């Protein structure tokens, strides 16, 4: 069954991993007894793998997805971007994915590398990529597209962003995978707004486990411009270790890190509860190539039994 068909029947549950840069990282992720094998035991419907901007790490992306495909029980989904890609290059790469039995993709514009003003390729936006894939491959691919509940960080307006999401649907996308959003009021407003705009696609919610203060702040502020709600800000301020090179070593640093993670896991689980009662079609956990903390979130939140 295709991912969006699962979502039409029940709530789906999935993980996202990234291609490791080293062989050692690859063995830890995709080797025997590695993270992927452990994640399969949690019975996700699909596992997606990110695609480096400008084609970096693409080979390892395919290696990771080959491993997922070989599991026989989990759908592999590749992320795919317009960055630096020509029409011919896109055609060849997507044909290779099909030959490897990978027929699900997340069609993205991609994050522009620092200093770039455009994609440096033949296509400029995800809308164009969805159209190109449908024109070239027909219905061979199930296509997911990104949705940003707070508006993409560089969007002209939330209304403009929603109109481009509608365009992705009109070009043939099958479901939405969302950017992380901790602001539940904004998430509910966005769902109302996209439905009013005629976007009917299933919504698969992207959830970043809150495990580390610096990574959480970096992800929110420098990458996506997300609002940090009061409850999350309180956790960060309670356990934040101020990176001051002139300050004496913080003896409590390790204790604070562990306490942050504990509070962050609880926060993530409560967030999943809130999402699950919003009429969404799937929970997509950014697994960050980790198992233990992610498994705890899956088991304690109850999403394994969806
Ligand atoms: P688009 O939908 O093309 O939007 C980009 C911007 O342009 C927005 O501001 C939008 O409002 C505007 N826009 C869209 N269409 C038009 C148009 N026709 N005319 C004018 N303006 C337009 N990045 C990676 O590099 N690799 C990954 O693996 C990756 N994985 C991701 C996974 C998820 C679940 C999500 C949500 C994002 C991921 N990203 C990844 C990040 C994503 O590539 C960035 O957010 C990127 O900046 C925008 O991609 P998009 O597909 O949303 O772009």
How many angstroms separate the CA atoms of 220 and 233, rounded?
Answer: 11
CA of 176 relative to ligand 1 center, distance in Å: 12
How do residues 198-242 score in pLDDT, each as one tens digit? 999 999 999 999 999 989 998 888 778 899 999 999 999 998 776
Tell me phi and psi for residue 169, to 5 degrees. -65, -45
Tell whether 227 is covered by a domain.
no
Q: How many domains does the chain have?
A: 1
How many angstroms separate the CA atoms of 19 and 237, rounded?
Answer: 32
Ligand 1, residues at Cβ distance < 6 Å = 50-51, 53, 79, 81, 106, 108-111, 125-127, 146, 152, 154-155, 160-161, 164, 177, 179, 206
For ligand 1, atom 49, the nearest C-alpha belongs to: 109
DSSP sequence for 169-196:
HHHT--EEEEPP---HHHHHHHHHHHHH
Mutate to test the pocket of ligand 1, among 164, 169, 197 (most ligand atoms within 8 A of CB): 164
Tell whether 63 is covered by a domain.
yes
Tell whether 260 is covered by a domain.
no
Mutate to test the pocket of ligand 1, among 124, 125, 199, 280 (most ligand atoms within 8 A of CB): 125
Cα dist. 152→128, 148, 160, 226 in Å? 17, 5, 10, 10
Give the pLDDT mean for 286-301.
Answer: 96
Neighbours of 197 (CB within 10 A): 14
Residue 277 has which token pair?
A: 């009662």
Kindly tell me if the per-residue pLDDT of 188 is higher than 70: yes
Give the pLDDT mean for 111-125.
Answer: 92
pTM: 0.95
Residue 114 has which token pair?
A: 């620092």
Tell whether 255 is covered by a domain.
no
Q: Work out the pLDDT band at 291, boundaries 50, 70, 90.
A: very high
- Pair 59, 27: CB distance under 8 Å: no
How many angstroms separate the CA atoms of 17 and 55, rounded?
Answer: 17
Per the structure, the complete domain to which residue 115 belongs is given by: 3-211+279-301
In 3D space, the residue among 120, 41, 87, 119 whose CA is nearest the CA of residue 291 turns out to be 41
- Pair 85, 123: CB distance under 8 Å: yes
Q: Which residues contact 209 (CB under 8 A, 6 or more apart)?
A: 264, 265, 268, 285, 286, 288, 293, 294, 297
Residue 246 has which token pair?
A: 């002139």
The pLDDT, as a whole number, for residue 244 is: 64
Mutate to test the pocket of ligand 1, among 108, 175, 289 (most ligand atoms within 8 A of CB): 108
Interface TM-score (ipTM) > 0.95: yes
In 3D space, the residue among 178, 96, 165 whose CA is nearest the CA of residue 130 turns out to be 165
Give the CATH number, domain containing residue 141: 3.20.20.220
CA of 156 relative to ligand 1 center, distance in Å: 13
Give the pLDDT mean for 79-103.
Answer: 97
CA of 280 relative to ligand 1 center, distance in Å: 21
Q: Work out the pLDDT band at 245, boundaries 50, 70, 90.
A: low
Kindly tell me if the per-residue pLDDT of 243 is higher than 70: no
Tell whether 234 is covered by a domain.
no
How do residues 199-208 score in pLDDT, each as one tens digit? 999 999 999 9
Closest atom of ligand 1 to CA, residue 160: 11
Strand, coil or helix: what is 150?
coil
Tell whether 247 is covered by a domain.
no
CA of 108 relative to ligand 1 center, distance in Å: 5
């Amino acid at each position: 069954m295709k991912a969006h068909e699962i979502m039409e029947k029940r709530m789906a549950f999935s993980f996202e991993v990234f291609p490791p840069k080293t062989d050692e990282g690859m063995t830890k992720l995709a080797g025997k007894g590695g993270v992927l094998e452990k994640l399969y035991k949690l019975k996700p419907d699909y596992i997606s793998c990110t695609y480096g901007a400008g084609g970096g790490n693409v080979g390892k992306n395919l290696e990771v997805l080959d491993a997922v495909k070989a599991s026989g029980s989990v759908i592999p989904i590749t992320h795919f971007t317009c960055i630096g890609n020509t029409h011919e290059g896109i055609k060849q790469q997507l044909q290779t994915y099909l030959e490897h039995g990978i027929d699900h993709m997340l069609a993205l514009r991609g994050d522009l590398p620092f200093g770039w003003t455009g994609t440096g390729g033949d296509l400029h936006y995800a809308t164009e990529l969805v159209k190109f894939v449908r024109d070239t491959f027909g219905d061979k691919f199930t296509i997911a597209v990104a949705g940003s509940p707070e508006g993409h960080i560089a969007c002209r307006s939330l209304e403009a962003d929603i109109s481009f999401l509608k365009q992705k649907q009109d070009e043939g996308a099958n479901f939405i995978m969302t950017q992380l959003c901790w602001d539940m009021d904004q998430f509910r407003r966005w769902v109302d707004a996209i439905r009013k705009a005629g976007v009917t696609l299933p919504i698969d919610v992207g959830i970043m486990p809150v495990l580390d203060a610096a990574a959480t702040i970096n992800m929110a502020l420098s990458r996506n411009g997300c609002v940090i709600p009061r409850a999350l800000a309180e956790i960060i301020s309670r356990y934040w270790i101020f990176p001051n090179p002139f300050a004496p070593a913080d003896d409590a640093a390790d204790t604070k890190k562990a306490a942050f993670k504990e509070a962050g896991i609880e926060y993530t689980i409560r967030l999943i509860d809130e999402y699950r009662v919003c009429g969404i079609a799937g929970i997509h956990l950014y697994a960050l190539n980790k198992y233990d903390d992610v498994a705890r979130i899956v088991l304690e939140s109850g999403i394994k039994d969806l």
